[in-house]
Amino acid sequence: MSSAKVLVIGSPAGLQGRFVGAISQVKVRSSARTTSGEDFVPMDFGRIKIDDKLDLQIFGVERDRVGVIADAVSPGIVGALLLAEPADTSDPHFSSQALDELSEKGIFTVIARTSDDIDSASLAGALSLNGNEVVDCVNLDRDSAKNALVKLFEAVLEATESAA
């Protein structure tokens, strides 16, 4: 069986964990914080069986840990979904940094607007999206999460076809 990987990136508050939990067909595995002083990279892991030949692995990652996780789970990353929150329009630093890291690694990214309180134009300006698609997504809603993933795959296919 082949597997494809998607990164779902959110704030340290955990929107990515909720997204992974809403869409995963298996119980989500979350890394637990350790108190032993060891390095710790928080991550949520879920899976969707697309068919008998393809398994989609979903990695929920905090924005400031994108580079570490992308390196750890590559190859096989199809794309990334950055969960934009209302705070991203007032302090876009961590999301912009995550977008830059993903771009440097050649990972196509779609932005998921998680709240009606986020104006798409303000978000595009705050994050300097440079052509990244913005989709709406309600984290706890399975259909909304599925739609965001479909939009990601459509955008990746479109970008791949236009590059060829």
DSSP 26-42: SPPEEPPP-SSS-----
The total number of residues written for the chain in this structure: 164
Q: Which domain holds residue 65?
A: 2-163
Question: What's the pTM?
Answer: 0.85
The CATH number of residue 60's host domain is: 3.40.50.300
Average pLDDT over residues 152-164: 84
Q: How many domains does the chain have?
A: 1
Going by their DSSP bridges, the two strands 109-113 and 134-136 should be labelled as parallel
Per-residue pLDDT at 7: 95
Q: Residue 118 has what DSSP assignment?
A: S
Radius of gyration of the chain (CA): 15
Per-residue pLDDT at 5: 93
